[in-house]
């Protein structure tokens, strides 16, 4: 079955500390991987994506993610968290073929403490 | 920067009523999607649309749902007879052709409340 698992429901990080959000996927075809962020009452904003090539991808707002095929993982990282990063983060997987569904994880809520 | 827009931002309706949610995808995009997010749950795929046809749909997208591109800019989701469990945030998304990868751009959502 195709699925995305985000094992951490809620994470609290101190401002300025590093962050890693975990994502594991199960997908039958070559996966296209995404991280989206959702602030309260807002839509989904794409942080970064992996299609092919370099397994370490850079995104907006200083985020990066590393694709590890052997571990079926695509963890999101940021070296220094800002208070404005508090939001919900969703990992998603899809196929290369446009028009196909993105499968989302249940999300991780990030709180930032001062 | 081009963006997907959705109207209304919030819709309240009575159970059994029909609702139409509207979306304006990014102008040069060819693929259109609807997703929903029930409060506190994950985002779920409903349907994708290309060349005036449904490309893919999920189990959630039953006969109560329909999609349409009534003109060159709008993309709509109709729920014929709303149920309480249809209360959710509905997101529209659009994407370009395959060659540029499958990046879907999401709108801000319409919050549907069924009473």
Task: Report whether B95 contacts B102 (CB < 8 A).
Answer: yes
**In this predicted structure, what is the pLDDT of residue B100?**
55
Percent of chain A with pLDDT over 70: 100
Residue A99 has its nearest CB partner, among B43, B48, B107, at B48
Residue A48: per-residue pLDDT = 94
Q: pLDDT tens digit string along B30-63?
A: 999 999 999 888 899 999 999 999 999 999 999 9
Contact A100/B55, CB-based, under 8 Å? Answer: yes
Average pLDDT, rounded, for chain A: 93
pLDDT of residue A103: 94
Give the C-alpha separation, A90 to A76, whole Å: 10
Count CB-CB contacts under 10 A for residue A60.
10
Query: pLDDT class for B93, splitting at 50, 70, 90?
Result: very high
Give backbone dihedrals phi and psi of A69, rounded to 5 degrees, phi first: -60, -40
- Do B17 and B82 form a contact (C-beta atoms < 8 A)? yes
CB A23 within 8 A of CB A75: yes
SS3 B105: strand
Place of tokens 């509207």: B22
Beta bridge partners of A113: A14
* CA pair distance B58, B45, nearest whole angstrom: 6
Distant-in-sequence, close-in-space partners of A59: CB < 8 Å, separation ≥ 6: A35, A46, A47, A48, A49, A65
For residue A17, pLDDT over 90 is answered with yes
How far is A36 from chain B, CA to nearest CA, in Å?
10
Whether the CB-CB separation of A87 and A47 falls below 8 Å is answered with no
Per-residue pLDDT for A35 more than 80? yes
Query: Is B102 within 8 Å of chain A by CB?
Result: yes
Compute the distance between CA of residue A100 and CA of residue B106 in angstroms, rounded to an integer.
15
Supply the pLDDT for residue B98. Answer: 61
pLDDT of res. A59 = 95
Joined tokens for residue A63: 């985020």
Write out pLDDT tens, residues B73-88: 899 999 999 999 999 9
Q: What percent of chain B has pLDDT over 70?
A: 95
Please indicate if any CB of chain A lies within 8 Å of the CB of B53: no
Q: H-type helices in B1-115, by residue range?
A: none
Q: What are the backbone angles phi and psi of residue B78, rounded to the nearest 5°?
A: -110, 135
Nearest-by-CA chain A residue for B90:
A43
Using one digit for the tens of pLDDT, what is the confidence trace for A41-89? 778 999 999 988 889 999 999 999 999 999 999 999 999 999 999 999 9
More confident of the two residues A98 and B60: B60
CA nearest neighbour of A55 among A39, A70, A37: A70
Side-by-side strand order, sheet with B5-7: B5-7, B19-24, B75-79, B65-68
pLDDT at residue B99 greater than cutoff 80 = no
| pLDDT given at position B101 | 60
- B1, B9, B10, B42: best to mutate for the A interface, most A CBs within 10 A: B42
């Amino acid at each position: 079955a195709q699925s995305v698992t985000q094992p951490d429901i809620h994470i609290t990080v101190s401002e300025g500390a590093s962050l890693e959000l975990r994502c594991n996927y199960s997908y039958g075809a070559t996966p296209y991987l995404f991280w989206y962020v959702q602030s309260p009452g807002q839509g989904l904003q794409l942080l970064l994506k992996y299609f092919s090539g370099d397994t370490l991808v850079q995104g907006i707002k200083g985020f990066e993610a590393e694709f590890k095929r052997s571990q079926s993982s695509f963890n999101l990282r940021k070296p220094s968290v800002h208070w404005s990063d508090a939001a919900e983060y969703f990992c998603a997987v899809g196929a290369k073929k446009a028009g196909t569904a993105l499968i989302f994880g249940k999300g991780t809520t990030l709180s930032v403490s001062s | 920067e081009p963006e997907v827009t959705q109207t209304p931002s919030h819709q309240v309706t009575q159970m059994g009523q029909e609702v139409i949610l509207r979306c304006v995808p990014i102008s040069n995009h060819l693929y259109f999607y609807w997703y929903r997010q029930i409060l506190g749950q994950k985002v779920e795929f409903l349907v994708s649309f290309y060349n005036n046809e449904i490309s893919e749909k999920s189990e959630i997208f039953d006969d109560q749902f329909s999609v349409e591109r009534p003109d060159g800019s709008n993309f709509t989701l109709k729920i014929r007879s709303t149920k309480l469990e249809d209360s959710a945030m509905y997101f529209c998304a659009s994407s370009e052709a395959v060659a540029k990868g499958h990046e879907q751009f999401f709108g801000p959502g319409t919050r549907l409340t069924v009473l």
